[in-house]
Structure 1
Amino acid sequence: MFRNSHTRMTALSDGVFAIVLTIMILNITPPKVINWSKIEQLITELSVYFISFGVVAQYWIFHQELLSHLKRPPTKFLILNMYYLCLVCLTPFATTLLSDDLFSRFNTIFFAAIILSVDFVQFILFRLAIGIWQDRGITPNLHDLEEYRSTIVMFILSILYVLTAILFPPALLIIIFAGFFIRSALSRYIRRRAEQKETSSKS
């Protein structure tokens, strides 16, 4: 019944990500009159765009890892994946809100809440995928487990984004940008620890 579901799910998911990544730039319009206020607004819009593009691109990379072993995803995974894509599709709208007023508490909370929602569903998808792999006799390798731990880190960081949006909205973009480096640093640290543990167990 679901023989071709992996191919169709991958094609649909990639199509959604491609559209989301593309339409975010459409929210940026070149100023007709060049003055400092227009340049400042353009810089704000470009900053929000670059951060949003990085967030969604990161989701796409993790999504490819997620589907690597799922040649025949079960129905519950397909349904959850659709909800995941639905939340990803809200990113351009949240980006537009944030570009309109970077210091609005409502706009920053909405943007951070979308990231939190996507990160949460992404974590659930990875948890579900690992369970499916194990049920089918596939042992997650070190890289798979590293990606899974990274989704946990991303979810924890997204809680920090929401708190930042509530307490100090102007700092949200800075915290999100720093979050990229924090996640990468933690991932490298976890990978080294896992590799050292694996090496010591073999010796």
Structure 2
Amino acid sequence: MKKARLEAFSDGVLAIIITIMVLEIKVPHGTHFSDLKELIPIFLSYALSFLYIGIYWNNHHHMISTVRKVTGNILWANLHLLFWLSLVPFATGWVGENHFSAAPLALYGVILLMAGIAYVILQSLIIKNEGKDCVLKKAIGKDVKGKISPFLYLAAIALSWVNTVCAGLIYLIAALIWLIPDRRIERILHEETATSNE
């Protein structure tokens, strides 16, 4: 399979996920701005999830751009990642409707943790298939962000039962860490292209 088909399918799924999430924001029956007050938790959960899906879309695009050959195990690992991301709208809706209560917030963290693990599995399989000297391996380096994120999710899941505000802030911090643009893959790909053209 050509990687363009894998990217197109993944992009489509992520676009649908965002669409489903925004449809959960129901229009209020009132005509005053005060009627929007009840939607604040729903909007905040949507904004956080939109940020996460956007980060996954961006990083997935960069990661797949390094792939030369799509294999069966990469296809299944990619579906595994999309499975967990497809649960984000459900968790987002539950968190928003229940004003960031403990159980919904903990489940939200479990889904983020599993999506993170699925992403690492996909990344590892790509490196295994492409070889230890591949572009992706060079680009991720020590992968500090990838190593920190699971601990942040686990801390937030535990804190959900103690202090939901702190748990929510940890989820936001984890997202912001990934929001900082990462130019490693682009830089390595540029270097590889320049070298091959010499």
Superposition TM-score, scaled by structure 2 size: 0.80
Instruction: Work out whether residues 20 and 92 of structure 1, in 8 Å CA contact, stay in contact via their aligned partners in 2.
Output: yes
Q: How many residues align?
A: 182
Query: Do the aligned partners of residues 132 and 153 (structure 1) sit closer, same or farther apart at CA in structure 2, a change above 3 Å counting?
Result: farther
For residues 158 and 171 of structure 2, the distance between their equivalents in structure 1, rounded to whole angstroms, comes to: 12
**Is the Cα–Cα contact under 8 Å of residues 152 and 170 in structure 2 kept in the other structure?**
no
2:94, 2:104 within 8 Å by CA — same for their partners in 1?
yes
The two structures, once aligned, show a CA RMSD in angstroms of 2.5
1:155 and 2:150 correspond: yes
Aligned match of 2:6: 9
Partner of 1:90: 87
- The structure-2 alpha-carbon separation of the partners of 1:39 and 1:116, relative to structure 1 and needing over 3 Å to count, comes to same
CA distance in 1, matches of 2:117, 2:169: 21
Give unpaired runs (5+ residues) of structure 2: 185-198
Q: SS state of the match for residue 160, structure 2? A: helix
Corresponding position of 2:139: 143
CA shift at 1:45, angstroms? 1.2
1:127 aligns with 2:129: no
Structure-2 residue corresponding to 1:40: 37
Are the counterparts in 2 of residues 105 and 166 from structure 1 also a CA contact under 8 Å? Answer: yes
What do residues 40-77 of structure 1 show as CA deviations (whole Å, max 9, x unaligned)? Answer: 32111111111110011111111112211213122111
- Alignment gaps of 5+ in structure 1: 192-203
State the identity as a percent: 24
- In structure 2, C-alpha distance between the alignment counterparts of 1:61 and 1:184, rounded to whole Å: 10
Q: CA deviation at 1:123?
A: 1.4
Q: 1:77 aligns with which of 74, 77, 95?
A: 74
Matched with 1:104 is 101
Q: Distance in 1 between matches of 2:2 and 2:138?
A: 27
Q: In the superposition, relative to structure 1, how do residues 115 and 140 fare at CA in structure 2: closer, same or farther (>3 Å)?
A: closer
- Aligned counterparts of 2:105 and 2:166: Cα–Cα separation in 1: 10
1:6–1:70 Cα contact (<8 Å) kept: yes
Q: Which amino acid aligns with 2:94?
A: L
Which position in structure 1 is the counterpart of 2:187?
A: none
Distance 1:41 1:6 in 2: 43
